Amino acid sequence: MRFFSLAILFLLVACQGEVGIKVHHIKGRTMGTTYNIKFVAPAEYDAKGLQLKVDQRLKEVNMSMSTYIPESEISKVNQSKANEKIKISQDFNTVLSHALDLAVKTEGVFDPTIGPLVNLWGFGPKGERIVPSDEKITETRQFVGYEKVTLEKSVVTKSLDKVYIDLSASAKGYGVDQITKLLRENGLRNTMVEIGGEVRAEGKSAKRPWKIGVEIPSPDPAKMGVLKVVQVEGFALATSGSYRNYFKYGDKSYSHTINYQTGKPVDHTLLSVSVISDNCMDADAKATALMAMGDKKGYEFATKNGIKAYFVFKDPTGQKLFDQKFTPGFESVVK
């Protein structure tokens, strides 16, 4: 699977706590992006040994749900025939089950079978970023629809050969959750895990809370910076945005977020949306769903369903680069 860091910046590199204790930092690559892990432990803690465990666990998650690996579980499902029953792992089952449930709740706005349209626009594996014809979009849309996938007791069945599952909107967050669990199992209680911009933190950084910066949504590196600082303690934060992963054709920009109803990239004023949840898989998926809905519908859905979210969108007056608003519960963690 290939992901892009969207809107999370680390603010705290390390800080000293009690004598002999420090904030360790290990980093690497996974899922087509980078990971950063910070944890508080004795200075002599075997960080290299821990990183080997981290890399192994991330490899397992990747082999389960990466559409970029032909031998992965998800690739085998995508290559399967209609009505063929395939037994899947607990990792795959957990993420797919959550994705299908959210698809129902959003009435298909969030849809793990959106893959054929994502690939058509060139945002998937081996994709060429082009604007397809309306005829091709119509043809491809017939293979999209979460109701075309059945999941029962870890067995997946597709109703059509060409149904293609893509869990990139939540598998990265799931990876964050699994590494957080791994750190906890290794006796670490003060941790922060980030993969491609999605974050989950527990405890504190030495004596202070972990703090994450949500960046200014701009494709121009010169205009990037910290927009808001979020104090993360005991929850996850994920951001979805339209300002990084896109392409331009003529005078128009095309986002990687696809509208399932039109089969085309979303066309609205929303630049990014950040979501807080108990786990990163949920935050990751809901941020994508709200991004697909847009500013108004996304805000209404988030408020109605008690989702803690932070919306950044183009200023309708045109007087400034962007505007912003929070749903109840998010603003309390912004410092």
| φ, ψ at 219 (rounded to 5°) | -75, -10
Give the separation between CA 10 and CA 310, rounded to whole angstroms.
Answer: 18
Domain boundaries, the chain: 66-158
DSSP category for residue 260: T
Residue with tokens 């109701």: 147
Task: Report pLDDT digits (tens) over 282-307.
Answer: 999 999 999 889 888 999 999 999 99
The residue among 222 and 143 whose pLDDT is bigger is: 143
Task: Report pLDDT digits (tens) over 141-160.
Answer: 999 999 999 999 999 999 99
Cβ proximity of 286 and 277 under 8 Å: yes
Name the CATH topology of 66-158: T-fold (1.10.3980)
Average pLDDT, the chain: 86
Give the separation between CA 170 and CA 274, rounded to whole angstroms.
Answer: 14
Give the separation between CA 42 and CA 25, rounded to whole angstroms.
Answer: 13
pTM of the model: 0.88
Instruction: Indicate the range of 131-140, 186-195, 273-282, 284-293 predicted with least confidence.
Output: 131-140
pLDDT for residue 49: 98
